Structure 1
């Protein structure tokens, strides 16, 4: 299977190399297409990306002016190659869990009708350089949160959903995942950790007022759509966000 990993990055210089290596270490299990949309970085991220793209043919870098994460994600979706089988996402300051791609590919191979796998994430603060996992002294918190990197999706499923809603400043991922679920895909809920979500002062969601506002907008839009869908009910076995508030207080 060919797996595309879409990364929208902006000024992630301290973390981007480890993020990419956390994906590259899994290249032996399947063919990878790592699509990195550099959203106008000016902190040296662009130099790291250029160097790594020269060293690793799995990495494709798309440079754009700074227009925000939602447009960057859409640019990545538009760049997907037609022979892609599966798609997932990773932020430039996070880490992909080792073995995740091989595990998910095996599940999709067993069930041709499976459209989506949704796994857990692990919040953390610090990682050891080059280890690509939380350090032994880092706080951690495992949750099945609303996050794009927790999902592995068939390309056909994403094509049916379309692009990210560019009206969102944040919570575009929440809106996108809810729209995916509203298509009633066949899905698998996994108790494995898909990725490590780094909490640090530069995290986009540090502005809790904007995050809360945009999340509320995403939920309101979803409520309006569900009225049109009639008897649709959001699956109750996918998200467990009660612990997320604790991780938000770490910063």
Structure 2
């Protein structure tokens, strides 16, 4: 453990909320973001810990210009950073956390905006759920950006925060809305610092679940989550996300199953099968589908296998398939037909099926 890691827990102060903000060239949005910090209705102790990650625009000047305004609002402002080559958002978050001293951590990206009630409401939830990452509902700007993701994330039921954690959307509690106790962070240790292309939030999220961490969402829109071409999420490789998804599903779900069916004999279902470890491939008793041509074919032959003979997996109609299922289908894309078919089986999500798509 490094000196910075030890300091993160050794100088924490009971009751203080540390707002954690990494920033790299945040000039276009930073003023609006900082104004949302000043406007918080929470009247307890707050500090804003910023790590300026080698910004080359007016970010440093904007930050310095807000110091007196923060102080008048009773908010301590800690500004750290460096020049040269950016270290990336994971490392910048870690350094902002290392410099902070609060018992609770409120994550804020420099291009987003907090509702004035955010800290007050999420702190109340985190105090009563000390082992949880606490999120909230959010709106996007522009309004019409990522409508399927926004709708999915905002309408998940509490249990679905766990059962739908293995989909391509990413964490079921969106990273820009995270709020937690410092103990939750310290249990995992830090964000991955590999830099551009690495989904450090997803890696942390899955490690949190694996360690027995809890999830909770405040059902109020407390964040404006901005969408723009320069957002770090656009640099993340889809294949990396997929590998993390499947590996986590294997570790946390499939390890407890003796057999299962893959729902979707098409491209996505076959991709899932090929990605599985050998011991989990052997647990697949069938693919299921509604496509008559796939069902008539009767079998999927794993041609890439080095085994002889090649593994052959039956393909059956979904109504003849045996649960539990791993469903490799995206939701809300079939005009309700898939959801109707799934509902006809009277299954329980998280027991009889999980999504991985």
> Given the superposition, is the C-alpha separation of residues 114 and 158 from structure 1 closer, same or farther in structure 2, using an over 3 Å criterion?
closer
Give the structure 1 partner of residue 119 of structure 2. 101
TM value normalised by structure 1: 0.75
* 1:192 partnered with 2:220: yes
In 2: Cα distance, 1:242 partner to 1:222 partner: 20
How many angstroms does 1:118 deviate by?
A: 2.5
Give the structure 2 partner of residue 179 of structure 1. 207
**3-state SS of the aligned residue for 1:18?**
helix
**Of 7, 15, 21, which residue of structure 2 is paired with 1:7?**
21
How many angstroms does 1:176 deviate by?
A: 1.0
> Given the superposition, is the C-alpha separation of residues 114 and 166 from structure 1 closer, same or farther in structure 2, using an over 3 Å criterion?
closer
How many angstroms does 1:96 deviate by?
A: 1.3
Structure 2: state its 5+ residue gaps.
Answer: 1-14, 154-169, 258-329, 333-357
How many angstroms does 1:12 deviate by?
A: 0.9
Task: Show the 5 A alignment for 1:158-177.
Answer: 158-169=185-196, 170-177=198-205
In 2: Cα distance, 1:231 partner to 1:23 partner: 44
Give the structure 2 partner of residue 78 of structure 1. 98
TM value normalised by structure 2: 0.54
Whichever of the two has the greater Rg, that structure is 2
In 2: Cα distance, 1:64 partner to 1:217 partner: 33
In 2: Cα distance, 1:13 partner to 1:214 partner: 30
Query: Contact (CA 8 Å) 2:130, 2:180: kept in 1 or not?
Result: no
Runs of 4+ more than 4 Å apart: 223-227, 229-232
Query: Contact (CA 8 Å) 1:172, 1:218: kept in 2 or not?
Result: no
**Of 68, 77, 83, which residue of structure 2 is paired with 1:59?**
77
> Given the superposition, is the C-alpha separation of residues 206 and 69 from structure 1 closer, same or farther in structure 2, using an over 3 Å criterion?
same
In 2: Cα distance, 1:98 partner to 1:40 partner: 29
**Of 137, 145, 152, which residue of structure 2 is paired with 1:120?**
137
In 2: Cα distance, 1:221 partner to 1:72 partner: 27
Superimposed CA distance per residue, residues 125-150 of structure 1 (whole angstroms, 9 cap, x where no aligned partner): 2xxxxxxxxxxxx4364442633222
> Given the superposition, is the C-alpha separation of residues 203 and 149 from structure 1 closer, same or farther in structure 2, using an over 3 Å criterion?
closer
In 2: Cα distance, 1:119 partner to 1:68 partner: 25
How many angstroms does 1:123 deviate by?
A: 1.7
Structure 1: state its 5+ residue gaps.
Answer: 126-137, 233-240, 244-251
Task: Show the 5 A alignment for 1:36-55.
Answer: 36-55=50-69
